[in-house]
Amino acid sequence: MSATPPPQAPTMRERYRAQVRGEVKQAALRQLAESGPGGVSVSAIGKQLGVSGPALYRYFASRDELLTELVIDAYHDLAAALSAAASAGASAGASAAASAGASAAASLAPSPDPRARFEALARAYRSWALAQPHRYRLLFGPPLPGYDAHAQQLVDASQAAMNQLLGVLRELGDHPAAPPPRPLAAQLSAWAQAHVPGIDPATALRAVLVWSRLHGLVSLEIAGNFASMGVDPDQVFEAQLATLTA
């Protein structure tokens, strides 16, 4: 059996293309932070980088294509942040169990604490949005006129973050008192099972409701609504988290 040949290194042209695309996306993110999605302009980016607008269209065929890449990048970054937080929450929960006097056998093979993982994931969701609200608004704010914010590639990219929540809630195990009604249960089951096997309709519904509450709270916070009320958003978040884990 012949050995698999090593992958070929990118050519100089490929490296240059990747470099230019990266610089264009960084410039677009700055525009996004300053003016929102409507302020992203390929021509303005070209002037900033010293390249003509038509030349940049060799790297991104349109502004919508550039926005789509920014959206997909943001979804991937959010999912990575949630995954890292959930993993850290599991480690913290295991350490706490061992220090609290868990048996020697349990200490050797601790079970991740799903409640600690859930709390870590929720906090990471908020932290990610607060650290870069322009990217959060790009994902969940009103779409630009004519831009298909629900194209399949964007829906697929968004699912990675939701999969983190579905997995943690499946491990958490406690369900709402009443299961969802039959039509909704079938819809939730079809959606969840396509991405995370073993998710029942009640867990899928809980994931949708948890995400809706977190999103609503975070959206209000980054818009300054709690600040204008003179209310501490940290305490509001902790109160909401307590209701979600009760």
Give pTM, 2 decimals: 0.85
- Report the SS3 class of residue 42: helix
Tokens for 76, please give them: 């991937």
- Name which of 65-69, 106-110, 116-120, 170-174 the model is least confident about: 106-110
Rounded CA separation 228/69 (Å): 34
Cβ burial, residue 172 (10 Å; 0-12/13-18/19+): middle
DSSP 45-87: HHHHHT--HHHHTTT-SSHHHHHHHHHHHHHHHHHHHHHHHHH
Local confidence band at 90 (pLDDT 50, 70, 90 cut-offs): low
- Confidence class of residue 16 from pLDDT cuts 50, 70 and 90? confident
User: Quick one: which H or E segment has residue 114?
Assistant: helix 114-131
